[in-house]
Copies of this chain bind each other. A is one copy, B any other.
């Protein structure tokens, strides 16, 4: 039961209007995964904050000791070694939490994200260790995303992008990336979840996009499934 209704409660002041350092690090990590640097604008959009605010914060993160980011005017941001570790720690928290919430509290695959998003910032290293141990140090979270190791390294992904499959080939879904909850639920209803077997029926090489027809429901065609879905080739 909610103590005060957030819709009707007129708060005395705005608490927590600030984006945490961890959120900055995580977002920079995500934007620079491909090797490129993250622009302040891109960061601003992701973090839902104005571009000037990002510039200011980035400067601070670049001048901390040790520095967490590398930054040059108009050149975007990259992570330092320490910065990458900081990012991977939050990501490890997030993914371990997702896995754990699904396993022990019956959260569904598509519900856990928000909860983990809040918990990831406050759990202790002890907590992290306990849930990792309790689950036998899983490699992937419920979405199939790789979980950074305890020493904060991102494991190499040995799965193959869906786009490399050709009609007639089979695969096992290892990872489903989608920010949209609606889409997640739809994919689940189609059986497009990690560990599901799929068969590629049609290939349209345009822009590396792949159209997958899942056996029974072709309505998935309505979604533009890009290489964000990865499969592991059975053989």
Report A's interface with B, CB cutoff 8 A. 1-4, 8-13, 15, 18, 20-21, 57, 60-61, 63-66, 68, 82, 85-90, 104-107, 111, 114-115, 118-119, 121-127, 130-131, 134, 150-152
Chain B residues within an 8 Å CB radius of A119 = 119, 122-123
Chain B min CB distance to A223 (Å): 27
Chain B residues within an 8 Å CB radius of A86 = 3-4
Chain B residues within an 8 Å CB radius of A65 = 8-10
Residue of B nearest to A124 (CB): B115
Provide the bound-state CA to CA distance between A2 and B152, in Å: 9
Provide the bound-state CA to CA distance between A66 and B2, in Å: 13
Select A152's contact among B1, B87, B88, beta carbons within 8 Å: B1
Select A1's contact among B15, B64, B90, B150, beta carbons within 8 Å: B150
Q: How many copies does the complex hold?
A: 2
Residue of B nearest to A68 (CB): B4
B85 touches A105 (CB 8 A): no
B20 touches A15 (CB 8 A): yes
Provide the bound-state CA to CA distance between A122 and B121, in Å: 9
A115 touches B105 (CB 8 A): no
Chain B min CB distance to A150 (Å): 6
What are 12 A-B residue pairs whose CB atoms fall within 8 Å in the complex? A1-B152, A3-B88, A3-B152, A4-B68, A8-B65, A12-B61, A15-B18, A105-B130, A105-B131, A111-B126, A119-B119, A119-B123
Provide the bound-state CA to CA distance between A60 and B64, in Å: 34
Provide the bound-state CA to CA distance between A2 and B64, in Å: 17
Nearest 5 interchain pairs by C-beta: A12-B60, A3-B86, A3-B89, A10-B65, A118-B122
Chain B residues within an 8 Å CB radius of A114 = 124
Provide the bound-state CA to CA distance between A130 and B104, in Å: 10
B121 touches A115 (CB 8 A): no
Provide the bound-state CA to CA distance between A107 and B134, in Å: 12
Residue of B nearest to A90 (CB): B3
A126 touches B115 (CB 8 A): yes
Provide the bound-state CA to CA distance between A88 and B152, in Å: 38
